[in-house]
A and B are shown apart, each in its own frame.
Chain A
Amino acid sequence: MTELSADPPVPPGSTRVRPEAIRAVPLRHPWRWVSAVVVLIVLGAVVDTFATSSLHWSVVGQYLFDARILQAAVVTLYLTAIAMVVGVGLGILLAVMRLSPNRVMAWVSWLYIWFFRGTPVLVQLFFWWNINTILPYLSIGIPFTHVMVQASTNTLITPLLAAILGLGLNEAAYMAEIVRAGIISVDQGQTEAAHALGMRRSLVMRRIVLPQAMRVIVPPTGNETISMLKTTSLAYIVTLHELFTVQQDISNFNYKIIELVIVASIWYLAMSSVLTVFQYYIERHFARGSVRGLPPTPMQRLRRMLFQFHAAPPFGSAAEPDGEPWLPPAMPHSGM
């Protein structure tokens, strides 16, 4: 790359003398002030209403770190994790099936998605929890022989398993559509180039298409995970001791219903906030290669803000501002 000289020759008809900076009277926005005041008054009224209610914040504080609540929060977290693992794994499988040239595969996948997206998740949880009423025994055996393993459905379907089945299988239907959208978003030329190199279908999917599809798949998957965190509360119907069930169990004794709902809400909020932070960094990781420079992390942004405050580039300078992650492409060095 040739050095840019500090003073490039001035073409005729242009001037390098910088005119005086513009100092105009700024436009006033009175309605912004009015609307802000109105909103703050409404907010104040709401806060005041709750502050003067007979809500006992001390009860909230008392139960916030109660051992039962903490344990329930852990159950909520790992139910979220397991249900999402089931959902993502099965979702990828369903998406690949849906895009398969095999018609039967595509059709079965379509049927699954149609069914599990078309019925409420609460109904599905209820179904798995009560499946023992129609299938008292589950057995796996080798057809046409008497070799068989049998188990009572009642002992097999624990609250946890019912919750995992209900939430995970339902989630798979949504994840399948998300993964499918991701796969379709990858440019056809990528598959073609990979095939031209002699790569087989499965390898192309694993090494070329899915990693690129991740950029499209990850953001909605993060939303699904946060949504799942809250949907786990429906597992109260299968009597699983997760956050919502446990806070209800406690308030059934002491009648501090709203206080315990607030305790649960604080934990739900805290956990979803942590997941949001994770989501940001995972998205950043999968943006590699899709943008010239990665978006800055909040820390980097803060640092740059402080730095640029007193390092505005001088007028007419061709230099990029400091701290910019963008790298200008180098010029090819072999001339014609």
Chain B
Amino acid sequence: MATPMVRAEAVHKNFGRNEVLRGIDIEVAPREVMCIIGPSGSGKSTFLRCINHLEKIDAGRLWVDGELVGYQERGGRLHELPDREVCRKRSEIGMVFQSFNLFPHMTALENVIEAPVRVKRESAAVATERGRALLDRVGLGDRLDAHPRQLSGGQQQRVAIARALAMQPKLMLFDEPTSALDPELVGDVLNVMRDLAHEGMTMIVVTHEMGFAREVGDSLVFMDSGMIVEAGNPRDVIGNPQQERTKEFLSKVL
């Protein structure tokens, strides 16, 4: 069997005395789209942020593409990775945030080519060419020179997706990408994500969009208070939940 793209084993995380993750075990295969649902405060976003080491985990193990996240195992002990290595690994993982977090002092195109040029040391010409193509692909080929504030939320989020894709990541993390959008703008963003999934991108999507999870997701995880309550095929979990907590949650959101 191929190495899983992401593997988590008993991942724990606490902020002070507050336990946010209490033993997460998952496996995401290459080309798989996994959706994570659950009430706010259930630890979904925190788990996503652990995967690219924006948060350090306190116990358990977490691998991306067969390599430990944030650490290196030598002589039976874990050693923290130097900053350079952490950054290199992050550069291979794309992340899309709920609040877009585009760089407001740069145009759409500048946002997209910043990391390829500064981090991967690509030539500006090559990065620009790919940046244009990516923005075109997310339907913003005509807004290259717009600043984020001149774009609608849906357009900003599509620029943010293009920005993440510009690094040619092997894994994409989406942290509630449509939660901050007006309902009529959600569709455009989901379409871009759907296309990406069809092209075989490995994706982990924290979302409240049950339609997307059912239609595009290969697997679905329901989290509550830092634990996985139920996981499986999205149609089964949504259509026929086994756990009481899952039923209760779904009855409120569907």
Query: A289-B147, A290-B104, A291-B149 are known contacts. Are A195 and B90 too (CB-CB below 8 A)?
Result: yes
Asked whether B90 lies within 8 Å of A327 as measured between CB atoms, the reply is no
Do A199 and B155 touch across chains, with their CB atoms under 8 A apart? no
B residues 98-124 in Cβ contact with A at 8 Å:
99, 101-106, 114-115, 118-119
Main secondary structure of the interface of A (DSSP, over half): loop
Query: Across the interface, do A189 and B101 meet the contact criterion of CB distance under 8 Å?
Result: yes
Most buried by A among B54, B92, B118, B151: B118
Q: How far is the CB of A36 from chain B (nearest CB, A)?
A: 42
Inter-chain CA distance A187–B84, complex, in Å, is: 24
- Cβ-neighbour of A335 out of B104, B119, B187 (below 8 A): B187
Closest to A198 in B: B91
| B89 / chain A contacts, CB cutoff of 8 Å | 198
**Which chain A positions have C-beta within 8 A of B91?**
197-198
Size category, A interface: 20 to 34
Please state if A190 and B115 are interface contacts (CB–CB under 8 Å). Answer: no
Chain A, Cβ-Cβ closest to B98: A189
- Give A286-336 interface residues, CB cut-off 8 Å to B: 288-292, 327, 329-336
What is the minimal beta-carbon distance from A291 to any residue of chain B, in angstroms? 7
Interface residues of B in 175-189 (CB under 8 A from A): 185, 187-188
CB-CB < 8 A to B83: which residues of A?
A: 200-201
A15 → chain B closest CB, angstroms: 30
Q: Is the CB of B149 within 8 A of A196?
A: no
Contacts of B135 in A (CB 8 A): none
CB of A156 closer than 8 Å to a CB of B: no
- Given the known interface contacts A196-B54, A200-B83, the answer about A332 and B139 at a Cβ–Cβ threshold of 8 Å is yes
Considering only CB atoms and an 8 Å cut-off, how many residues of chain B contact the other chain? 43
Residue pair A336, B191 in contact (C-beta under 8 Å): yes
Contact B150 A329 (CB under 8 A): yes
Determine if A199 and B191 form an interchain contact, defined as CB atoms under 8 angstroms apart.
Answer: no
Residue in chain A with minimal CB distance to B143? A330
Chain A residues whose C-beta falls within 8 Å of the C-beta of B131 in the assembled complex: none
Encode contact with B along A178-201: 1 for CB under 8 Å, 0 otherwise: 000000000101101111111111
State whether the Cβ of A211 lies closer than 8 Å to any Cβ in chain B: yes
Cα–Cα, bound, A173→B164 (Å) = 39
Contacts of B93 in A (CB 8 A): 196
B219 on the A face (CB < 8 A): no
Interface residues of B in 192-240 (CB under 8 A from A): none
- Tell me the smallest distance from the CB of B179 to a CB of chain A, in Å: 14
B152-A331 in contact (CB<8A): yes
> Which residues of A are found within 8 Å of B151, using beta-carbon distances?
329
Residue from B54, B93, B104, B151 having most chain A Cβ neighbours under 10 A: B104
Nearest residue (CB) in A for B89 is A198
What separation, in Å, do the CA atoms of A100 and B115 have in the docked complex? Answer: 24
Q: Can you give 19 contacting A-B residue pairs, CB < 8 Å?
A: A189-B101, A190-B103, A192-B54, A192-B97, A193-B103, A196-B54, A197-B115, A197-B167, A198-B88, A199-B119, A201-B83, A288-B105, A289-B148, A329-B152, A330-B152, A332-B152, A332-B154, A332-B155, A332-B188
Query: Which residue numbers of B lie inside 8 Å of A, CB to CB?
Result: 52, 54, 83-84, 87-95, 97, 99, 101-106, 114-115, 118-119, 139, 143, 147-152, 154-155, 160, 163-164, 167, 185, 187-188, 191
